[in-house]
């Protein structure tokens, strides 16, 4: 039979002192005679006393403020609604512990707006921060200031390995790229060319897309069956007119393109182009079962999507901050979530 946990009341009885005296010693509050203090600590250590941290957090009257920074979940960037929903649900669950989450947003792929929002977060002086390090250079500047102030931070969506981050929750971007490559490899003629599209400007600074591109290309360098060209292009915005211009040009020059890989979630933008131009012989693979992508998956203009559990990323990231800041628990630093290969038959089973 497991030994019953010792309580403060039990320690007080064994030491012959009041519960209040034991509480002051264990929580280092107020003056207690050295001999009494020693006796109490010896009894606590002997019985492996563990404080009820959850009860302590429940009785705390101090509000703990966390900050989150995400791209604005607009119609164009609807993917970000899912981690935001996870963050909001975690906040609701932790409301009883006086946890408040201040949510900040920046325009996706706008470095200047990202910097402005990080400045506002630093003024807030939160107890912890959750954010995706989309812009590597600007994220490193933000991280340096967080670390100067002793503010723990949790990454989602992607991570910068060389940082002293508290935790990361998300998929492995490099491995996700390799998974996508495997799907493309077996859905494309062995001699067909493959087009890689990054819907972003300054790809080298857009951390997660860069990792997915590297992983995708590494697969074919290692053991891919496809021997066709791997053509990598960058389209700085997702405006339909610019996409049409770029794809009209590249497809007219490379008529052997048999697959297109999109490193982000705006796969539907390319699917719409393929539909309009009746290019149904090109395999299209990208990320995230957002509403627009599912619609095109059902039409057959998208063949496969890679799912990466964005809701869980947001929910678990906030919970990790709570466990570290309020419960002083040791945190599992890297929680790598699985990626899922989704097609028109399986998307209804996918749990975001």
Residue 307: helix, strand or coil by DSSP?
strand
**Dihedral (Cα; 308, 311, 312, 313), 10-degree rounding:** 70
Give the per-residue pLDDT at 33. 86
Q: Please enumerate in sequence order all residues whose Cβ is within 8 A of that of 96, keeping only pairs 6 or more positions apart, or say none.
A: 58
The residues pairing with 129 across neighbouring beta strands, listed in sequence order, are 67, 153
* Cα-Cα-Cα-Cα dihedral sign, residues 307, 310, 316, 320: positive
Is the pLDDT at 76 greater than 90, yes or no?
Answer: no
- Please count the CA atoms within 13 angstroms of the CA of 208 that sit on its side-chain side: 23
Please provide residue 344's backbone torsions phi and psi, each rounded to the nearest 5 degrees.
-70, -20
Give the per-residue pLDDT at 146. 98
Q: Please enumerate in sequence order all residues whose Cβ is within 8 A of that of 138, keeping only pairs 6 or more positions apart, or say none.
A: 111, 114, 115, 118, 205
Is the pLDDT at 53 greater than 80, yes or no?
Answer: no
Rounded to whole angstroms, the Cα distance separating 293 from 304 reads: 10
Rounded to whole angstroms, the Cα distance separating 225 from 192 reads: 11
Give the per-residue pLDDT at 109. 81
Give how far the C-alpha of residue 295 lies from the chain's centroid of Cα atoms, to the nearest Å.
25
Is the pLDDT at 1 greater than 50, yes or no?
Answer: no
pTM: 0.81
Q: Which carries the bigger pLDDT value, residue 351 or residue 298? A: 298
pLDDT band with cut points at 50, 70 and 90 for residue 294: very high
Regarding beta strands 283-287 and 99-106, do their DSSP bridges make them parallel or antiparallel, or are they unpaired? unpaired
pLDDT band with cut points at 50, 70 and 90 for residue 41: confident
Task: Compute the mean pLDDT over every residue in the chain, rounded to the nearest whole number.
Answer: 90
Contact 232, 196 (CB under 8 A): yes
| All domains of the chain in start order, with CATH | 8-51 (1.10.260.40), 59-171+310-338 (3.40.50.2300), 173-307 (3.40.50.2300)
Is the pLDDT at 100 greater than 90, yes or no?
Answer: yes
Q: Which carries the bigger pLDDT value, residue 330 or residue 283? A: 283
For range 116-138, the mean pLDDT: 96
Is the pLDDT at 22 greater than 90, yes or no?
Answer: no
Q: Which two tokens stand for residue 163?
A: 């940082």
Give the per-residue pLDDT at 57. 54
Q: Give 196-252 pLDDT, tens digit per residue.
A: 999 887 666 677 888 999 999 999 999 889 999 999 999 988 899 999 999 999 999
Q: Which two tokens stand for residue 346?
A: 């399986």
Please list, residue by residue across 1-10, b when 16 or more beta carbons sit within 10 angstroms of its beta carbon and e when fewer do: eeeeebebeb
Q: What percent of the chain has pLDDT over 90?
A: 68
Q: What percent of the chain has pLDDT over 70?
A: 92
Give the per-residue pLDDT at 320. 96
pLDDT band with cut points at 50, 70 and 90 for residue 195: very high
Contact 308, 170 (CB under 8 A): yes
Rounded to whole angstroms, the Cα distance separating 149 from 154 reads: 15
Q: Which carries the bigger pLDDT value, residue 25 or residue 161? A: 161
Rounded to whole angstroms, the Cα distance separating 76 from 215 reads: 25
Give the per-residue pLDDT at 351. 62
For range 64-81, the mean pLDDT: 92
């Amino acid at each position: 039979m497991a030994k019953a946990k010792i309580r403060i009341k039990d320690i007080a009885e064994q030491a012959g002192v009041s519960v209040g005296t034991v509480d002051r010693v264990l929580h280092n509050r107020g003056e207690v005679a050295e001999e009494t203090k020693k006796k109490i600590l010896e009894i606590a250590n002997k019985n492996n006393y563990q404080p009820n941290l959850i009860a302590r957090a429940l009785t705390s009257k101090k509000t703990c403020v966390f900050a989150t920074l995400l791209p604005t979940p607009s119609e164009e960037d609807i993917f970000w609604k899912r981690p935001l929903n996870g963050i909001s649900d975690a906040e609701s669950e932790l409301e009883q512990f006086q946890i408040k989450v201040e949510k900040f947003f920046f325009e996706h792929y706008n470095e200047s707006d990202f910097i402005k929002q990080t400045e506002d977060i630093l003024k807030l002086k939160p107890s912890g921060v959750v954010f995706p390090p989309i812009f590597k250079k600007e994220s490193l500047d933000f991280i340096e200031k967080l670390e100067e102030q002793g503010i723990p931070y949790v990454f989602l969506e992607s991570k910068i390995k060389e940082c002293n981050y508290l935790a990361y929750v998300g998929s492995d971007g490099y491995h996700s790229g390799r998974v996508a490559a495997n799907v493309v490899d077996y859905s494309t003629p062995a001699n067909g060319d493959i087009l890689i599209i990054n819907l972003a400007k300054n790809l080298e600074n857009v951390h997660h897309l860069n990792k997915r591109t590297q992983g995708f290309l590494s697969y074919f360098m290692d053991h891919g069956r496809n021997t066709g060209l791997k053509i990598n292009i960058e389209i700085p915005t997702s405006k339909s007119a610019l996409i049409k211009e770029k794809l009209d040009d590249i497809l007219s020059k490379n008529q052997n393109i048999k697959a297109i890989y999109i490193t982000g979630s705006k796969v539907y933008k390319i699917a719409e182009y393929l539909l309009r131009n009746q290019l149904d012989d090109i395999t299209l693979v990208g990320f995230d079962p957002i509403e627009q992508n599912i619609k095109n998956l059902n039409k057959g203009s998208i063949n496969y999507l890679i799912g990466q559990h964005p809701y869980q990323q947001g929910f678990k990231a906030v919970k990790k901050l709570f466990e570290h800041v309020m419960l002083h628990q040791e945190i599992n630093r890297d929680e790598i979530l699985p990626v899922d290969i989704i097609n028109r038959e399986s998307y209804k089973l996918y749990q975001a």
